[in-house]
Amino acid sequence: MDRYPRAPARLDWCGMRTLLRLVAFAQKYRVWLSLAFICMLFTTAFSLAIPRIVGEAVDIAVGRGERSSLILVALVVLGANALRGAFAYGNTYLAEAVSLKTSYDIRNALYDRLQRLSFTFHDQSQTGQLMSRATADVEAIRMFFGRGLLGTIQTLILFAGISSILVSLDWKLALITLAFLPAVGWRAIVVSNRLRPIWLKVQELMAVLGTTLEENLTGVRIVKAFSRQGEESHKFSEQATLLYDEHIRATRHRAFNMPLMVFLVNVPTALILWYGGRLVIADSLTLGGLTQFILYVGMMAMPVRRLGFLANILSRTVPAGQRVLEILDTVPAILDKPGAIELAGIKGQVRFEDVGFSYDSMAPVLTNISFSVPPGGSVALVGNLGSGKSTIAHLIPRFYDVSSGSITIDGIDVRDATMASLRRNVGIVQQDIFLFSASIRDNIAYGAVHAGMEQIAAAARAAQLHDFIESLPDGYDTWVGERGITLSGGEKQRLAIARTLLIDPGILILDDSTSSVDTGTEHLIREALEALGRGRTTFIITHRMPITKNADLILVLKEGRIVERGNHSELMERDGLYRRLYLSQLSATHGPEQSEQGV
């Protein structure tokens, strides 16, 4: 949870800043919101007036003894209630609509932001965490707009309305009642202040629980293989206990304070009965006056009870808002420069000039990397684990920005080009292959939505996947990904290759893309790639040495530095790391006897 780059904590008094920022989201709908507000005003006004209309009308009717005016009174009541209903409809519907539209906007904004946040952000975040923010937290914000915002205002108006009616009826009695209101308000603030950190904790724990569950389900094979079911259950149960404890803590605060607030409203009723009764007996107040007074004080209990509910919503809104805003406030580490150029029809010359790179606060991953590839050239990157091969590949399409030095394509710094145009020209097949829940056709066309069937099939053919697809009962319409058929590692890799080939990039990067393919298939892919690689600048990262043999330039990396460079025959002549790697693999394929000599 603390792994996101947090904005420096600003003064956020009682979460007011967060609330105001959330309200800003609803600004677009201020007309609707104002209409909802007006409807709410009328609803409240009718609520305050109806008892009076009824009471006084009945008094008049009964007092005059006119049967006919009873019907008139009944009709007035019917009309007043119907109007109140209509306004309540308007109020509820409009407020809900605003809340829905606002959460729709927030969800879109979140999705958009998550799509654009750079690899650095996603490297550090967990899907479960992000999901919980986009679902549970957005939902909490929706509740705020649907009920919390106008509800709070309505409650305040009710308080004010009832108070002024009370004062107009009898100011002394009114003072007795109103003396208790500050206490009620004080409790409401105390409760919501205490609940806020608890709800923040609850939301966070929910996300932790979600992550545990997701990992457990995704890694089920490992869990079972190591017979760790017991420990996993224990871990889950421990986290669930923490969540339970927080809920209980929240309940303790609520259970004590909410009824206390109702009690604080009931006490003045007793006092009024006691004191007002004396006034009536002393003839300085009429019985009717006292009754009306008691009824209006009774009405006060409703907004007070509502206040408890609202305190709950408000205290959930602020932490939820903070968690959502945290994502929305995270600026993608990599952005288009103002006035960035559109790359189009590149020749494919790639140049690294003294490039250095390190992930946040980590030891340098690349140091002093300089090389240049002519258009159409092929580069093979070889080296040990963690030597920085993949990092070089990730820097070209600007998944990360260099820490020092520069990378240019056709002489243009990649940071000066728009990311979209850059990535259209640099195709990369990544190590981890992600397929979307869609048909094979859509997966291949993922980066080229408008590609025709011909082009899709051609890409599949080039990746040696066409025959396999045709052998499936549904062919290109076969569903893959979460809800679809399971493809083998090799099939996935070929699909990813087809997907990249379809965007027809001038620069092609294959990041260890044939590791899960059996030798026969690899052979075929390699042939296809060579045909396709012609005219393209190609980067190949591999640990299968034979592939490197045909590369124009081989870069041998060690601990983030280029230790050897040249083509295959040059490097073989030198007695360096490359020769050793190459021989060792060649010998390994020829049997243990020779492999001993190869070392």
The footprint of other proteins on residues 293-322 (CB under 8 A) is 294-295, 298
Nearest distance in Å: CB 22, other proteins: 18
Q: Which is nearer to other proteins, 368 or 418 (CB)?
A: 418
Q: What is the per-residue DSSP string for 138-168?
A: HHHHHHIIIIIHHHHHHHHHHHHHHHHHHHH
Answer for which of 28, 111, 370, 374 binds other proteins (CB under 8 A) is 111
Interface with other proteins by CB under 8 A: which range of 109-117, 318-326, 370-378, 403-411? 109-117
Answer for which of 178, 183, 267, 331 binds other proteins (CB under 8 A) is 267
Amino acid (one-letter) located at 5: P
Nearest distance in Å: CB 13, other proteins: 29
Contacting other proteins within 540-569 (CB under 8 A): 542-547, 549-550, 559
Q: Does 20 bind other proteins (CB under 8 A)?
A: no
Q: Does 223 bind other proteins (CB under 8 A)?
A: yes
Q: Does 337 bind other proteins (CB under 8 A)?
A: no
Nearest distance in Å: CB 493, other proteins: 10
Q: Does 88 bind other proteins (CB under 8 A)?
A: yes
Nearest distance in Å: CB 17, other proteins: 27
Nearest distance in Å: CB 12, other proteins: 27
Mapped to the 3 state alphabet, what secondary structure does 12-65 carry?
CHHHHHHHHHHHHHHHHHHHHHHHHHHHHHHHHHHHHHHHHHHHHHHHHHHHHC
CA distance 509 to 78: 76
Instruction: Report helix angle 171-178 to 149-169, nearest 10.
Output: 140
Contacting other proteins within 56-75 (CB under 8 A): 57-58, 61-62, 65, 67, 70-71, 73-75
CA distance 263 to 255: 13
Interface with other proteins by CB under 8 A: which range of 19-27, 193-201, 229-237, 346-354? 229-237
CA distance 35 to 91: 8
The helix or strand, by DSSP H or E, that contains position 132, with its residue range, turns out to be: helix 127-132
Nearest distance in Å: CB 166, other proteins: 16
Q: Which is nearer to other proteins, 317 or 425 (CB)?
A: 425
Q: Take residue 284 and report the two structure tokens written for it.
A: 């300085």
Q: Which is nearer to other proteins, 22 or 381 (CB)?
A: 381
Contacting other proteins within 442-461 (CB under 8 A): 446-447, 449
Q: Does 84 bind other proteins (CB under 8 A)?
A: yes
Contacting other proteins within 361-380 (CB under 8 A): 361-363
Site track for other proteins across 169-198, x = CB under 8 A: ------------------------------
Q: Which is nearer to other proteins, 14 or 298 (CB)?
A: 298
Q: Does 144 bind other proteins (CB under 8 A)?
A: no
Interface with other proteins by CB under 8 A: which range of 87-95, 173-181, 190-198, 407-415? 87-95
Interface with other proteins by CB under 8 A: which range of 17-25, 122-130, 318-326, 470-478? 122-130
Amino acid (one-letter) located at 114: L
Q: Does 278 bind other proteins (CB under 8 A)?
A: yes
Contacting other proteins within 390-429 (CB under 8 A): 390, 397, 399, 419-421, 423-424, 427-428
- Exposure class string for 266-277: b at 16+ Cβ within 10 A, else e: bebbebbeebbe
Amino acid (one-letter) located at 483: R
What is the torsional sign of CA 410, 416, 422, 426? Answer: positive
Q: Which is nearer to other proteins, 2 or 9 (CB)?
A: 2
- Tokens 């952000």 locate to 121
Q: Does 222 bind other proteins (CB under 8 A)?
A: yes
Q: Which is nearer to other proteins, 309 or 371 (CB)?
A: 309
Answer for which of 527, 570, 573, 574 binds other proteins (CB under 8 A) is 527
User: CA-CA-CA-CA torsion for 201, 204, 206, 212, nearest 10 degrees?
Assistant: -130
Closest by Cα among 560, 522, 507, 542 to 380:
542
CB distance 543 to 512 below 8 Å:
yes
Q: Does 597 bind other proteins (CB under 8 A)?
A: no
DSSP letter at 136 equals I
Q: Does 228 bind other proteins (CB under 8 A)?
A: yes
Amino acid (one-letter) located at 298: G
Amino acid (one-letter) located at 329: D
Q: Give all strands (DSSP E) within 395-525, no chain letters.
A: 404-409, 412-413, 426-429, 438-439, 479-480, 507-511
Nearest distance in Å: CB 338, other proteins: 19
Nearest distance in Å: CB 85, other proteins: 3
Answer for which of 137, 170, 512, 564 binds other proteins (CB under 8 A) is 512
Long-range contacts of the stretch 202-205 (C-beta < 8 A, 24+)? 202/243, 202/246, 202/247, 202/250, 203/132, 203/136, 203/137, 203/140, 203/316, 203/319, 203/320, 203/323, 204/1, 205/239, 205/242, 205/243, 205/246
State the CB neighbour count (10 A cutoff) for residue 81. Answer: 14
Closest by Cα among 289, 306, 273, 296 to 51:
296
Q: Does 93 bind other proteins (CB under 8 A)?
A: yes
Q: Does 254 bind other proteins (CB under 8 A)?
A: yes
Q: Does 588 bind other proteins (CB under 8 A)?
A: yes
Q: Does 31 bind other proteins (CB under 8 A)?
A: no
Q: Which is nearer to other proteins, 117 or 184 (CB)?
A: 117
- % helix / strand / coil in the chain, to the nearest 5? 65, 10, 20
Answer for which of 16, 28, 31, 89 binds other proteins (CB under 8 A) is 89
Answer for which of 183, 273, 331, 532 binds other proteins (CB under 8 A) is 273
Interface with other proteins by CB under 8 A: which range of 180-188, 193-201, 342-350, 536-544? 536-544
Length of the chain equals: 599
Count of residues of this chain found to bind other proteins when the rule CB under 8 A is applied: 186
CA distance 154 to 516: 64
